[in-house]
Structure 1
């Protein structure tokens, strides 16, 4: 099969140039024209896809060549963009910035090449004029396999400033497809881990997305950008599907449940174990493919909000708590004693519990002195230090997700410290870029700071659901 969806990568020379504003505004503007838009984000970031989803009305999906491997980028893209009129892919950091020490791996340029997608470069022009031509020329000529099809000039100060920039870029051979003036309305609030997630400010976020769409409509040539997206050639190869990914996973790496293996599609949900998936403002970090894999493995996935719901979903047989901001909502989470008790009881029963980062903190005894679930004998506190980066790890202890010895690539992203950082049976032994043990495995609980993408290890979902059964 082939991925023939028209597509466009929104990149920049560096972070802070305006990629998110342009990408989100483009998604919303194309959607307002009646088009079905597929939103994507290069890298592991969970927050920007929330704004993308709000703009496009469908899940924002990540394309991370480090976490999933280069071979899955095109299949995952084809899965997410199936049936869409156009796809907009927001880059990460600068165009050529990838995983540290790994060359181009996981960079925006790498993903653009894997998808054969043209790139529009968003340039912060606020402190330059003629030099912009040298900057664009350098980016356009650095890698001949990366096709920079246009430039959007951001933070332009005046008509005279725009004229100088356009005159300079005439010599570069790269067309100007947009000029955006400085605009306060399109700014979104940030805090210690980046933008404030959509789930925490839905009405304000919706207004911000509308402002981004208006800003892009006013300053960009939408027809030219759409023509550039339509110039992308087809990408041949398979389309990712959760069911096929599970079928292709060697049984010995994640033993299937005989009971679930014989359950036909459409069987009554009572025959499918209920997996509770934490959501709401405190737990917004989750890849869409995780729920799809759990359902393909035989589970009924039911979302709940630990800030609001006092009970786990009826019949819960397993619990998945992804990332987010429990440190921001520690008082509210702590006040929900009934749910904290229910989570502790589920964990004590031996049921599978998979907790990543925020989930790890929620299972701890406390966050900044506020009582949490008390499943783990550890306490969390906010820190001034940002822990950020890709990790390579091996499973130290067999657990609900993987057998001992399984190797994964993951990502850490937090400003909290957990003391101690590992239990008597650690979850992971990090092998790169540093060597240390991390996380907790006890009974059915697997809790760790490490974010992993289950599309790279679909056996995790199968093993987890088998444990629920």
Structure 2
């Protein structure tokens, strides 16, 4: 049994203030000396970067689409180890999951898998008593246990009084009311919020503003009482499978401001499989780490840093040499772009034939994919569920040996030791990816 006080922060829809409340709670509680852990429901990489900044420990994702639902509670227990309370930020509206699959992948499903109480965040702009009808509908629609509500963007003390009274009518405890003029703003761009790693001073200021806002207007002790209502979990915490290779190969993982998207468990799996994992920043480092025998490049924003990445000729050449030696290289989304010929005309590593350009169209969604070629990660025929999230296109989008296929389309590249694709995958669902990568490097 795992005792882990926890609460899920949900909302009727996107834009109600879940990130402000979740991040603000983490930061406010941490400033009081409480050991906190932050989680994000769904595939989003950016919100966990703010959770990490607020809590002082890695932000993690809980996605029952990318990972089997039975893995969610063990992954949570792994990430919550040592924390006194965990805050799980939901995704979209409470019951919004994968299209056409009911509440699969929703905040409600994650709350159920964790047996965790839910605190709703409700934007009360232009609403009075009607907010109670909305919240009553959400509370009675499913089996989620409501622990209270935090009302957001109240326009005046009188407005606050009206919405508090409305919630009292339905017996829903109000844990806090945030004013409409709150200054906690986080910079954003074409794919949403800017990751915390890209603007450390601005991100720190935003997190501090969220902490101050929540501290002033939310009853933190009441939130902790709700979290304590969560019963012990009858699970064994997830641990990455371990191996002892004959030697510990060095695997470089791209990091820095241009490559901020990655799940923490990926690095934990590589280390457990026997690799020495070293971060390389393509904006700053001109060489790969000494003795590098493999490379992992996750997601990020190479389209924003095209000129800077192009200017780092020594590192681009080092990556090209590594690929020419058929060394194992696994790349997702931004990694695919960086390994290609160019991004919006800026020269990249030239390992793959694709040229990338920005478009005005967002490509986003879960994909049920099958491996079309044997690669460093998987055998042909391997089935995975991944996630796409980008506004670029690559031409050509696939090689004669594509990485994946879904909905009749072939996508990505398997070339020598390279596996590159737009598809983001969660390696905790496929621990053999790390084992194969380390074995190939060894």
**TM bucket normalised to smaller:** over 0.9
The corresponding residue for 2:148 is 150
The 5-angstrom pairing of residues 311-390 of structure 1 reads 311-390=287-366
Whether 1:215 aligns to 2:213 is yes
Deviation, 1:262, is: 5.4
Give a deviation string over 1:202-247, Cα, whole Å, max 9, x none. 011001101100100111011111000001011101210012xx6x
Query: Which of 182, 191, 194 is the aligned partner of 2:192?
Result: 194
Query: Which residue of 2 is the match for residue 268 of structure 1?
Result: none
Counterpart in the other structure of 2:183 = 185
**5+ unaligned residues in a row in structure 1: which ranges?**
247-259, 264-270
- The residue aligned with 1:255 is none
CA contact (8 A) 1:393 1:408 kept: yes
**Contact 2:182/2:213 (CA < 8 Å) preserved in 1?**
no
**Contact 1:4 1:233 survives alignment (8 Å):** yes
For each residue in 1:296-315, what CA deviation from the matched residue of structure 2 results, as whole angstroms up to 9, or x when unmatched? 11100000100000000111
Q: Distance in 2 between matches of 1:262 and 1:314?
A: 19
Aligned residues: 442
* Distance of 1:262 and 1:440 partners within structure 2: 28
Answer whether contact 1:278 1:321 (CA < 8 A) is retained.
yes
Given candidates 367, 372, 377, the residue that maps to 1:396 is 372
Deviations 1:82-112 (A, max 9, x none): 1110000000000000011111111000000
Rounded Cα–Cα distance in structure 1 between residues aligned with 2:47 and 2:167:
30
Residue in structure 2 matched with residue 254 of structure 1 by the alignment:
none
Secondary structure, in 3 states, of the residue corresponding to 2:183?
Answer: helix
Secondary structure in 2 aligned to 1:170? helix
Q: Distance in 2 between matches of 1:328 and 1:182?
A: 32
Task: Give the whole-Å Cα distance in 1 for the aligned partners of 2:197 and 2:225.
Answer: 33
User: Is the contact made by 1:189 and 1:196 (CA closer than 8 Å) also made in structure 2?
Assistant: yes
Q: Establish whether residue 451 from structure 1 lines up as the match of residue 427 from structure 2.
A: no
Asked whether the 8 Å contact 2:373–2:414 carries over to 1, the reply is yes
Residue 378 of structure 1, CA deviation: 1.1
Residue 290 in structure 1 maps to residue 263 in structure 2: no
Give the alignment's TM-score, normalised by structure 1. 0.93
Alpha-carbon offset, residue 435 of structure 1: 2.3
Name segments (4+ residues, structure 1) moved above 3 Å.
Answer: 260-263
Contact 1:322 1:356 in 2 (8 A): yes
Q: Decide whether the 8 Å contact of 1:426 with 1:441 is kept in 2.
A: yes
TM-score (norm. length: structure 2): 0.99
RMSD over aligned Cα, in angstroms?
0.9
SS at match of 1:236: coil
User: 2:432, 2:355 → 1: CA distance?
Assistant: 31
Answer whether contact 2:245 2:274 (CA < 8 A) is retained: no
Q: Does 1:229 align with 2:202?
A: no
